[in-house]
């Protein structure tokens, strides 16, 4: 039976779960109330740290789901995303609008990646 590794586990959730060559990340948000640019940059920095802890990296992301509180922020979020993701390593991706868990949160990014 393959081992399950949980990273930064709390009562409700783990920030990452590693199993059978894959790492699943919980949704990552930036600081509520900051600009969409700042929130996206912070979310991606958290993703990069978690992937490193799990034994992966951003070029190994397979799938990403991005939730925006307002689709009017799509272009600003994408400007940060496009500068962050390595050329040729774009994952399968979905992006939609949703009310996020707390006031002031404008973006939440969820990823699944392959281990190195």
**pTM for this predicted structure:** 0.96
Rounded to the nearest integer, the mean pLDDT of the chain is 97
Joined together, the tokens standing for residue 41 give 């940059």
In b/e form, how buried is each residue of 93-106, taking b as 16+ CB within 10 angstroms?
Answer: eebeeeebeeeebb
Domain boundaries, the chain: 4-114
> CA–CA separation, 36 vs 8, rounded Å?
25
Q: For 9-25, what is each residue's pLDDT tens digit?
A: 999 999 999 999 999 99
State the pLDDT at residue 38: 98
CATH number for the 4-114 domain, one of 3.30.1330.40, 3.40.640.10, 3.10.20.30, 1.10.1040.10?
3.30.1330.40
Q: For 51-60, what is each residue's pLDDT tens digit?
A: 999 999 999 9
């Amino acid at each position: 039976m393959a081992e399950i590794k949980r990273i930064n586990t709390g009562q409700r959730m783990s920030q990452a779960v590693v199993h059978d060559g894959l790492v699943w990340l919980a949704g990552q948000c930036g600081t509520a109330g900051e600009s969409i640019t700042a929130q996206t940059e912070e979310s991606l920095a958290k993703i990069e740290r978690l992937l490193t802890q799990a034994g992966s990296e951003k070029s190994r992301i397979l799938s990403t789901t991005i939730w925006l509180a307002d689709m009017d922020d799509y272009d600003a979020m994408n400007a940060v995303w496009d500068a962050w993701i390595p050329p040729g390593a774009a994952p399968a991706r979905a992006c939609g609008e949703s009310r996020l868990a707390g006031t002031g949160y404008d973006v939440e990014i969820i990823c699944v990646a392959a281990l190195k």
